[in-house]
Copies of this chain bind each other. A is one copy, B any other.
Amino acid sequence: MRLSRSFLPTFKENPAEAQIVSHRLMLRSGLIRQTASGIYAWLPAGLRILRNISQIVREEQDSVGAQEVLMPTLQSADLWKRSGRYDAYGPEMLRIQDRHKRDLLYGPTNEEMITDIFGQIINSYKELPQTLYHIQWKFRDEVRPRFGVMRGREFLMKDAYSFDLNYEAAVASYQRMMLAYLRTFQRLGVRAVPMRADTGPIGGELSHEFLILAPTGESGVFYDAALEGQDWLDTPVDVTDPAALETFYKRVTTPYAATDEMHDTTAWEAVPEERRREGRGVEVGHIFHFGNKYTKAMDVSVVGADGERLYPEMGSYGIGVSRLVGAIIEASHDDNGIIWPDAVAPFKAVIINLKAGDETCDAVCEGIYNKNTEDFLYDDTSDRAGTKFANADLMGHPWQIIVGPRSAKEGRVELKRRATGERHDLTVDEALSLVLAGA
């Protein structure tokens, strides 16, 4: 994209309404605009990030056998009356009446709807397991929306739902999803630690939150350093083998990890002191097993091997896709702006033309840009060099390809890595091969 013709505004001033760094940087780097309290429009760069995150989430869901569907944003209140949650859900549910005075609501989550759809289609135990997910906008009518997309009202969420014949199979589905989550966050370039979460009235141990470590996080976190630096992408796990899943799951859940809500000082003190890590975290995912709560309440069953009716065991699995944009910034920024992980960045690189209008500079820049119009941003504006550098740092492109008149004559550019600040004087080809290698 050519910056001079694009809808990629940046702002020098910190917006008064933004209290946390990710909100400030998202507004200043032109990712979002607020259109109503807690409701945002995504500008071109922001949408690219949202789509990059969604695509990684999608691929990792698919890779553990989950199937993508797309449920609507509006739901019939009748569905929620069947589960008993319509009256129980508080004022965060946005209730709506249509022109015929029928009660609708803007879905805050989809357990009821997916259970109903599942029940209309799946009849036999032979068709289990099934895990379905969608990536769709949700609405929660927060009393005080704040922190930008971190606590907005209309937000993008991936929610998955598993249906299994019995508890053991449901545990395997839960474990598969944990693996998918660890791989997803690793690919997104952030460290997200799974922490045991409160299961509420249902009980059991099958509930984990995933927290990205960031100093501004809303929860205190305590974890064993054994959880650091694990490579889940390179850990082969046969997701069709319950024993392999169990081994993997033990490895993840044995070391201590808890938020302050669930903190257990006795267990904590059993962790060798040099391995104790304390900090703060932002919740970006939550996985939860809840048995046959919804299938029973909504009377959705399948026929078992002996003709009996069975209520499938369910789990639900959420990732806050729009929230992740803010959370990643909280974890990855400096005083000059955002530092996008490569996989998430709206553009792989920005080409900075230090002398737009200079024949050689233009030719070198155009040459690089024309081969990479999709993935590169080309700063072809007549702004001063200082402005261009500041904008590039603010927007957080992983690489800056800096083209000045002197070096351009020799077919050379300066390549700057945003994360480290390292700069290298390279030929165009050397620079491109580094950038396109991804890191």
Interface residues of A (CB under 8 A from B): 1, 5-7, 9, 30, 33, 35-37, 39-44, 46-47, 50, 65, 67-76, 79, 91-92, 94, 96, 98-99, 102, 104, 106, 113, 116-117, 120-121, 130, 132, 137, 139, 141, 143, 153-154
Residue of B nearest to A92 (CB): B99
CB of A139, distance to nearest CB on chain B (Å): 7
Residue of B nearest to A107 (CB): B35
CB of A160, distance to nearest CB on chain B (Å): 12
| B7/A141 in contact, CB under 8 A | no
Residue of B nearest to A50 (CB): B70
Q: Which 10 A-B pairs have the closest CB atoms?
A: A36-B76, A42-B70, A41-B71, A91-B99, A9-B121, A39-B72, A72-B154, A47-B70, A99-B141, A44-B67
Contact A33 B73, CB 8 Å, known A7-B132, A68-B44, A91-B99? no
| B74/A40 in contact, CB under 8 A | no
Contact A137 B73, CB 8 Å, known A35-B117, A41-B113? yes
Copies in the complex: 2
Q: Hey, which chain B residues are within 8 Å of A41, CB to CB?
A: 69-72, 113, 117
| A43/B72 in contact, CB under 8 A | no
| B5/A74 in contact, CB under 8 A | no
A42: which of B69, B96, B141 is its contact (CB, 8 Å)?
Answer: B69
Q: Hey, which chain B residues are within 8 Å of A72, CB to CB?
A: 35-36, 39-41, 137, 154
| A5/B154 in contact, CB under 8 A | no
CB of A240, distance to nearest CB on chain B (Å): 11
| A69/B91 in contact, CB under 8 A | no
Q: Hey, which chain B residues are within 8 Å of A121, CB to CB?
A: 7, 9, 30, 33
Contact A69 B154, CB 8 Å, known A116-B35, A120-B33? no
| B117/A33 in contact, CB under 8 A | yes
CB of A124, distance to nearest CB on chain B (Å): 12
Q: Hey, which chain B residues are within 8 Å of A39, CB to CB?
A: 72, 74, 76
From A40, A47, A72, A91, name the one whose CB has the most chain B CB atoms within 10 angstroms: A72
CA A41 to CA B68, docked complex, whole Å: 11
A113: which of B35, B42, B141, B143 is its contact (CB, 8 Å)?
Answer: B35
A71: which of B35, B76, B153 is its contact (CB, 8 Å)?
Answer: B35
A7: which of B36, B69, B76, B104 is its contact (CB, 8 Å)?
Answer: B69
| B96/A68 in contact, CB under 8 A | no
CA A301 to CA B255, docked complex, whole Å: 60
Q: Hey, which chain B residues are within 8 Å of A71, CB to CB?
A: 35, 41-42
